[in-house]
Amino acid sequence: MKFDKTAGYVLLAVGLGMMLSAAFLLFNVFTGASDPPRLFEFSDVSIPIPQPEGGSETVEILSGQEMSRMAAMGFWYLLMFFIMLVGGRIASLGVNLIREIRVEIKQ
């Protein structure tokens, strides 16, 4: 019986640690304290606009650097959300091991 409670407390600590570290890393990325890992490199999106004189001018609509940063932040958010979800499940298992289960039979 003692092993169940010890394992429960360990699982609870691991789950809470995962959730807190994921929240801290997510907070750092979204406040600009650190950069998300660069997984994507997009090029600039630009369109040519014809000029009345016969030439054309290229206008940049979206910066490739900003699109790459937004994609990296979105992926980082999904990854940290998944880690928080797993941490919550692990902590829940720990709580279930810690809690005593009493069964009463009434006749």
51 is a domain residue: no
Rounded CA gap, 27 and 69, in Å? 16
78 is a domain residue: yes
Q: Give the pLDDT of residue 1.
A: 62
19 is a domain residue: yes
Q: Give the pLDDT of residue 85.
A: 96
Number of domains in the chain: 1
106 is a domain residue: no
Residue 72: domain span: 2-36+65-98
What integer is the mean pLDDT of 61-67? 86
Q: Is the pLDDT of residue 21 over 70?
A: yes
**SS3 sequence of the chain:** CHHHHHHHHHHHHHHHHHHHHHHHHHHHHHHCCCCCCCCCCCCCEEEEEECCCCCEEEEEEECHHHHHHHHHHHHHHHHHHHHHHHHHHHHHHHHHHHCCCCCCCCC
81 is a domain residue: yes
76 is a domain residue: yes
84 is a domain residue: yes
Q: Is the pLDDT of residue 18 over 90?
A: yes
60 is a domain residue: no
Residue 12 pLDDT grade (very low, low, confident, very high; cuts 50, 70, 90):
very high
pTM: 0.74
